[in-house]
Structure 1
Amino acid sequence: MIRNERISPVQLSFIMIGFIFGSSAIITPAVSAYQDAWLAYIIGWIGGYILIGIYAYISILNPSKTFIEILKDVFGKYIGSIIGIFYIWYFLHLAGLVFRNLGEFMIVSIYTETPLIFIIISIALVLAYSLKKGLEVIARVGQIIVPMMLILVISIFLLVMGHYEVKNLLPFLEHGFLKVLKVSFSVLTFPFGETVVFLMIFPYLNDKKDLFKTSYISLTVIGMILLSVVMSNLMILGADMLNRQIFPSHITISLIPGIAVEPFIAINLIIAASMKITMCLYASLIGIAQLFGLDDYKPFINPVVAIAVVISIWVYDSLSDMVRWAGEIYPYYVIPFQIIIPLLVLIILKIKRRDGSSAL
């Protein structure tokens, strides 16, 4: 590993919760299932347990190595490095996507006269500073602010309960179960499959025996919170309006009487999305340093953050293009990164370990 940094299971848990919440509270693919959005979300959530279990198991088999190092061990130095380069690109690309998601939300719902690039660069400067402080500092900050974020989300969930219409959950499976399965796959890849990023973070956990427990507890907590968000939006807005709105949570929150909660929500989303972006950038920085055999990633911070900002501006032509790409292309684009390669790595590691044990 690059540095002798360590984080506790509790800190890892809060980082994972903030990461998964990230842009998922802004955009969720589950809405494409209309009144069955809750079912599509639950199926995708269950699949998330399988993926996070695969990622945790890979790390447990190689407790002191990041995924870039594991790829070199499994596929050899050259092929492993090439695959590692693609993963570094994916981490950077994901950071750029979340930058854009957050920026679009801010200019559409709150800062309507502010240029998109100004918002993204402002956030990027803060994140560059946090990356220079290191993972331990980022984890301590997450341990403080993520609980406050969760309390705010739960409070909003309770405040809007009076507007719920259970009839909005019907008719059940109107569009067929295959439609639900298709949407649930999108939910699996966004946000749960994106936790593949943590294969670059897990080695810094100071108590590896708690990795499975920490991962599953984090997934359970944030899964329940995101499910409450989906259910709230659906029961308040109805299936048709939910599917037409790009940022349905913002509409739902506006129904709270007598309280201007938009600034608090904006802060909430900035915190969560920033946590996600920071982890993606950190993973890419560690990967770059390890590919070049360096002991420090800090010289790459400014260039990498700048690349992520450029990607965020370049990747979409418009807000509608962002929504279309997220729903129609992204779930298939990430299959190799989130499913195929990790599963192949785990199988090869198990075969090698079994052959090694037999040789003994």
Structure 2
Amino acid sequence: MENARLSGWQMITLTFTFVCATTFLMLPGKLMEDAKQYSWIVCVWSFLYGLVLAGFWLYLSKLYPGKSLVQIAIQVLGKWAGGLIAILYILYFIQIASWVTRNLSDFMHNNLMPRTPLSIFNVVMLLVCAYAVVKGIESIAMVSELVTPYIIVAFWIPFTVMLKDWDLRTFHVPFDFHLWTTVLHTKYALAFPFMETIMFMMLFPFVKSRLKTAFFLGISSAGVVLSICVYMTIGILGVDRGSHLIYPVYTIFREMQFSGFLEHLEAILSINILLLLCLKLSLLFYCAVLGLCQLFKIERRDIVAFPLVWIISAYSLLFANVIENIEWIENYLFSYYMLFALIVPTILIIGSWLQTLYKIQRRDKPA
């Protein structure tokens, strides 16, 4: 395993950028369609759910300090069963990486460069991320540490300019709020992005201090920022209009004006999206490569990273378009993520308890 060290602050920025990346791009419009003016409340209970999951994974990690998720699976379940679980998690990271790749290439193709084929975006971004993976997690963390303040400032200062168009009457849409029905219709918000953060169990061994505080702060700060963003988007665009847009936040930036000559501020948001999604993609890519290296005892990351570029790029083209992607998220994502975020970690914790009980029984057994 790479001999790297991450500080608590780096863990916060990595978690923050990971949670925010595709969420700002894909989630607000769909939430406004399903939960109307209450979609910001869905964001609140989603990140609270994410904090509960974070505590669950931190407990599992505490049982096996210094070990990644792949190593824990092998130690608990053995070489063959644990190896199978490890392969499933590696495929899980590759799958999410392919979806992130497709989200970014769809955004670039639909809004900025419509004549450029999706495969060109995929390969260029993945080659950059593969280079970051080869350089190591410390390099990715330093980039995250550097760009996070810029992303926050460049997003929120222009966004607050649009408060002049914010209207409280947009929250008075005649829509009855039924808690359980809303939870069922928006359960994908629990999975995306908070169930994806189990990926950080691959990085826990690198954090030498304040791991719990950093992980909780990263998730909670991203959740609060997302809730505020959705709340402001409802007030600016309105529920009816916002729910019919694929990228409502991008529309806000495209329409805002500081003055008569300062326009097209969506370029700022495009840069932010590019930075955030490349960081998230680099993290997923790195965890997939790290898992393969740990499972098969491979010393060099480059011989794993660059072939994965073509696999992830090809996998990202399975969806016909962004609408099909959103429909899959709505209908199947929560159930699919449950296996990796809850069911398998529960099995690993129970297996750890059984191992401990067996050792105690053997120790207490008379000779």
TM-score (norm 2): 0.92
Confirm or deny: 8 A CA contact 1:71 1:81 kept in the other structure: yes
Say whether 1:325 aligns with 2:328: yes
Change (3 A) 1:228 1:156: farther
Counterpart of 2:127 in structure 1: which amino acid?
Answer: L
1:110-151: CA deviation from partner (whole Å, max 9, x where unpaired): 222322222222211211111111111111111101221112
| Larger CA Rg, structure 1 vs 2 | 2
Please tell me the residue identity of whatever aligns with 1:230.
V
1:338 paired with 2:337, answer no
- In 2, the alpha carbon distance for the partners of 1:131 and 1:176 equals 45
Matches within 5 A, 1:1-360: 2-28=1-27, 29-31=30-32, 32-171=34-173, 174=176, 176-207=178-209, 210-257=210-257, 258=259, 259-313=263-317, 315-353=318-356, 356=359
Per-residue displacement from partner, 1:331-358 (whole Å, max 9, x unpaired)?
2221101121123323433454466568
Unmatched tracts of structure 2, length 5 or more: none
Contact 1:288 1:297 in 2 (8 A): no
Offset, 1:326: 1.7
The alignment yields a C-alpha RMSD, in angstroms, of: 1.8
User: How far apart are the structure 1 equivalents of 2:303 and 2:244?
Assistant: 44
Q: Secondary structure at 2:60's aligned position in 1?
A: helix
Note closer, same or farther for the CA distance 1:249–1:357 as it changes in structure 2 (3 Å cut): farther
Q: In 2, are the aligned partners of 1:154 and 1:225 still within 8 Å (CA)?
A: no
User: Deviation string for 1:22-57 (max 9, x for gaps)?
Assistant: 111110153321221111111111100011111222
SS of 1:295's partner is coil
Distance in structure 2 (CA, Å) of the matches to 1:349 and 1:220: 29
Give 2:161's aligned amino acid. L
Q: Deviations over 1:136-177 (max 9, x none)?
A: 111111110122111222213311111112222234862522
1:245 partner SS: coil
The CA deviation at 1:184 is 4.3
Q: Is the 8 A contact 1:34 1:242 kept in 2?
A: no
State the secondary structure of the residue aligned to 1:329: helix
Q: Name the SS of the counterpart of 2:316 in structure 1.
A: helix
Q: Secondary structure at the match of 1:114?
A: coil
**Which letter does structure 2 place at the counterpart of 1:237?**
L
Paired AA for residue 346 in structure 2: L
Q: For the structure 1 residues 351 and 214, does the alpha-carbon distance in structure 2 shift closer, same or farther, using more than 3 Å as the test?
A: farther
Secondary structure of the structure 2 residue equivalent to 1:74: helix
The 1:357/1:154 distance shift into structure 2, 3 A limit, reads farther
Rounded to whole Å, the distance in 2 between the matches of 1:264 and 1:142 is 17
Q: Give secondary structure in 1 for the equivalent of 2:243.
A: helix
- The AA in structure 2 aligned to 1:105 is F
Name the SS of the counterpart of 2:271 in structure 1. Answer: helix
- Runs (5+) with no aligned partner, structure 1: none
Deviations 1:183-206 (A, max 9, x none): 442111101110011111111112
Is 2:5–2:208's contact at 8 Å kept on the other side of the alignment? yes
SS in 2 for 1:254: helix
Aligned residue identity for 2:246: I
Quick one: which amino acid aligns to residue 182 of structure 1? L
- Counting aligned pairs with the same residue, the percent is 25
- Give the 3-state SS of the residue equivalent to 2:297 in structure 1: coil
Change in CA separation of 1:168 and 1:350 when aligned onto 2, cut-off 3 Å: farther
Structure-1 separation of matches of 2:340 and 2:71: 16
Equivalent-residue separation in structure 2 for 1:286 and 1:171 (angstroms)? 48
SS of equivalent residue, structure 1 residue 334: helix
